[in-house]
Amino acid sequence: MLAAHMDEVGLMIKKIEENGFIRLSPIGGIEPITLVGQKAKIMDANRKILCDGVITFGELHDASEIKEVPKMDYLYVDTGLTSKELQKKRVEIGSYVIPHHQFQYLGNKETISGKALDDRIGCYMLIELAKKLKDIRKLDVYYVFTVQEEIGLYGAKTSVYEINPNWGIAIDVTVASDSDIKKGTAIGSGPYLTVKDSEIIANPKLDQHIENIAKKNKIPLVLEVADFGTTDATNIMLSKGGIPSTIMGVPVRNIHSTISVANVKDIQNAIKLLELVLRNPPSPTSL
């Protein structure tokens, strides 16, 4: 089982004030400061665009001195409409607010920028992997696109219960902590394999199998030990009597923002390594 989460870090309307300003509730982890000044689209549950707006807060609105970093409670969406006008457009509590940013290359064709790379990258990797493995016959491969990973890993829990796999890999992204070049995971250094995060220690035999294939095929691979965050692998591992699992992905800069940055070669190498792992899978009895 290979799982990537397809829910985006976003926002939901929690209050509409009389003057039309829209107050926000975060969906998943997102840094409020990254939202300031962003264009946003307000959508209903069917992703129909209801209207556009700009995310702002009082001091920026009034051109006052900004004395502290804004918190989520300070932010609101200005659509230029009153509450009654918003009501006519069917904007209501529970509608979604999606910051708007287009995909683009930065400087060259190796560096990309875009919104929700956590975890659009994982979803892209699964799609490309499925194309490459159309001829595979020696095992059943389940490509799972889960939801609500950011708020509780819920999609992984229900999916793994239905599939009951022998082992699983969560395909995700990690923090590129390369603002200081001397430490951390840098974009362009290759895909990463998580040994431990804040919730689980990945299956060591599965990790070793993946690491051996990477070395044999000269694919760069970074081992990561993280003290924060977790992924769908946690619920895969804790399902039923316990299912061996691990996490593979790529580093991303500005991970919880609408303008993230990643490296194309990292993604390509991760897809290549995953293909080799699935063509040379570990025996379930060896894990």
Superfamily of domain 10-99 in the CATH hierarchy: Peptidase M42, domain 2 (2.40.30.40)
User: What DSSP designation does 180 have?
Assistant: S
**Residue 11 neighbours by CB distance under 10 Å:** 26
Amino acid at site 139:
L
- pTM of the predicted protein model: 0.82
SS in 3 state form for 50-68?
Answer: EEEEEEECHHHHHCCCCCC
Domain with CATH 3.40.630.10 in the chain: 103-286
pLDDT in tens, 83-121: 999 999 999 999 999 888 888 899 889 999 988 888 889
Is 149 an annotated catalytic residue? yes
Q: Which residues of 246-255 are buried (b: 16+ CB within 10 A; e: fewer)?
A: bbbbbbbbbb
What are 54's strand-pairing partners?
Answer: 39, 78
User: Rounded to 5 degrees, what are φ and ψ at 123?
Assistant: -65, -40
User: Rounded to 5 degrees, what are φ and ψ at 104?
Assistant: -160, 155
Q: Which CATH architecture has domain 103-286?
A: 3-Layer(aba) Sandwich (3.40)
Given 8, 149, 150, 224, the catalytic residue: 149
Return the pLDDT at 51. Answer: 94
pLDDT in tens, 15-31: 999 999 999 998 877 88
Radius of gyration of the chain (CA): 21
